[in-house]
Structure 1
Amino acid sequence: MTAFDASERLIWAGRGAAYARSYARLCAHPVPRLLDAARVGPDARVLDVGTGPGTVAAAACARGAKVTAVDAEPTMVELAARAAPTADVRLAVLPELPFTDGEFDAVVANFVLNHVGRPRIALAELRRVLRPNGRIALTIWAAPPAPGQTLLGRAIQAAGAARPPQLPDGLAPEDDFSRDESGLTGLMTAAGLREAACETLRWDHHTDAAEWWAGPAAGVASGGRLVQSQTPRMRAEIKRHFDLLGAEFTDEHGRLALPHAALLARARR
């Protein structure tokens, strides 16, 4: 386990319900296209890796697929089991999945590679459990990020908040890759997948300031952990800048319209 992996375990420990109340709706946006990319349909044996609160698993079950879903965080597994009661939901951690070689027709991973310390090794493990000619589809956040994705980071910077030393800066250089279409395609090819292709998805996420602040306020994701590590005075200062900067994205109804961009990649074994 890398330092990045260990940090991710701490960041997400016990955060299932807080994530479901905040960022889960954002991350649900690509799910239909993700399942289409993996050709998920009736009776397909599907593995949903990093299922979170079970959004992808539930959608795959609704298509008639035979779904297995895993997550590294117990509170996410509990939520997923309720969201997708017909799925086989388990606790499991990449890159050591408890499945035999070639067990699944399709593997999907919605915003999962963002959270592993060795993405190529994780992808190779997903390839291992995929049958020959089976399909894999995944999403990650694009870089540079779209303007709506930078709101919290800008508020943290404007407030002058210090980054806690226990929060890693990112992946080791030898494990990282460019978060663009060519970079993700190259990573999939390096993991032994074929016919890799990638596209960029862009959309505005409509929410209100209270819902959007609920995630970092509860310590969700790395930004939330950074917010929670601050003094009460600094947290209030971050929130003040968050509200000020949020005015840039406020629509005529007083809600936020936050531009986001993600990469959707697909390949075959």
Structure 2
Amino acid sequence: MTNAEAYDRGFAHLSSHTVGALLDLARRSRAPRLLDVGCGTGVVTAAALALGAEVTAVDADPVMLEVAARRHPYATIRQACLPDLPFEDEEFDAIAGNFVINHVPDTAGALKELHRVLRPDGTIALTWWKSDEMTATNVFADAIAAARIPYEPPPRPFTANDTPARFTELLRETGFREAAVDTVRWRHQVDLDAWWTDIVQAGGPRFRMIADQPEETVERIKAHYTRLAQPYAHEGFPVCAYLAHATR
């Protein structure tokens, strides 16, 4: 499980940049019943509630859900994991998933399930990282490599579907209409020491191995991180994400 508070300070802050764009479709369609899938600590949930939506938020991690439930008592919080959602057919007017589809092993199966629970003419919006333009996190992998620590990153099943053309095709094959993918770029400005602490303490699948190393090894990795991250201290890390949107 993830350290939810560290995740909230780190990854959730990074991913919050796309929330406004993610909810634009729901805002335009005035969708009252919104599903926040892979809600984490509730960044999307908070924004959707502020728009007046009736929000149901799901995540696989019970620690994340505890934080989300405590912060957002007016949302319905459920533990669930794609591609199996505990909802009736056509139950939601809109679906938002902020950086969750890239963690699902079966992309096509997840899209089929999201299509099932979305009403006709309902909208869906999903984001994922453009992995080769993710300096904010790639700097950690580069630091591990520079420290010459054996490291086998976890597999990424989503890689086969992570291009805009392929994901658009998948949406259409699943039955969605008006499918398109936009590119979103920004600079993630953050204190470099705080970013190190929050990413390492979050204990996510890619970098939890750092905290498991002996103290001297951790310090060696951190020294390389500081060197590699320093050029971005003023303007921030360049970040790129994709935003897919479609209609059922």
Q: TM-score, normalised by structure 1?
A: 0.86
Residue of structure 1 aligned with 2:154, choices 146, 149, 168:
168
> Separation in 2 of the partners of 1:203 and 1:14?
26
Specify which of 53, 61, 81 is matched with residue 49 of structure 2. Answer: 61
Shift of 1:222: 2.6
Alignment match, 1:224: 207
> Does residue 70 of structure 1 match 2:53?
no
Matches within 5 A, 1:236-247: 236-247=219-230
User: Retained in 2: the 8 A contact 1:41–1:64?
Assistant: no
Residues 142, 262 of structure 1: 8 Å contact kept: yes
Tell me which of 20, 23, 30 is aligned to 2:11: 23
1:45 maps to 33
- Once structures 1 and 2 are overlaid, which stretch shifts more, 148-157 or 256-265? 148-157
Note the 1:186-201 alignment, pairs <5 A. 186-201=169-184
**What corresponds to 2:239 in structure 1?**
260
- The amino acid of 2:51's aligned partner reads R
| Contact preservation (8 Å) 1:119, 1:176 | no
Match of 2:76 in 1: 88
Name the one with the larger helix percent.
2
Distance 1:143 1:90 in 2: 29
Residue by residue over 1:212-240, the C-alpha shift from the partner in whole angstroms, topping out at 9 and shown as x without a partner, is: 10233214323322313433222111100
Identical pairs, percent: 42
Q: Aligned equivalents of 1:198 and 1:74: distance in 2?
A: 31
Q: Which residue, out of 204, 212, 217, partners 2:195? A: 212
Aligned equivalents of 2:126, 2:28: Cα separation in 1: 13
Letter of the structure 1 residue corresponding to residue 247 of structure 2: R
Distance 1:96 1:106 in 2: 17
Q: Deviation per CA, 1:24-70: give whole Å up to 9, x if none.
A: 11111100110003446656110000000111011101101111111
Q: Which runs of 5+ in 2 are unaligned?
A: none
For residues 2-29 of structure 1, what are the alpha-carbon distances to aligned partners after superposition, in whole Å with 9 as ceiling and x for unaligned?
A: xxxxxxxxxxx14212201222111111
**1:170 CA drift (Å):** 2.4
The alpha-carbon distance between structure 1 residues 186 and 61, as it changes in their structure 2 partners (threshold 3 A), is same
1:143 matched to 2:126: no
Gapped runs of 5+ residues in structure 1? 1-12
Alpha-carbon distance in structure 2 between the residues aligned to 1:75 and 1:123: 25
Distance 2:141 2:237 in 1: 14
Alpha-carbon distance in 1 for matches of 2:222, 2:113: 40
One-letter code of the match for 1:265? A
Distance 1:259 1:222 in 2: 22
Q: Give 2:143's aligned residue.
A: 155
AA in 2 matched with 1:140: W
Distance in 1 separating the partners of 2:202 and 2:96: 26
SS of match in other structure, 2:207: helix
In 2 relative to 1, CA 149–168 (structure 1 residues): closer, same or farther, beyond 3 Å? closer
Assess, with a 3 A threshold, how the Cα gap between structure 1 residues 155 and 176 changes in structure 2: closer, same or farther: closer
- Using the size of structure 2 for normalisation, the TM-score is 0.93
Distance 1:39 1:128 in 2: 21
> C-alpha displacement at 1:156, in angstroms?
1.2
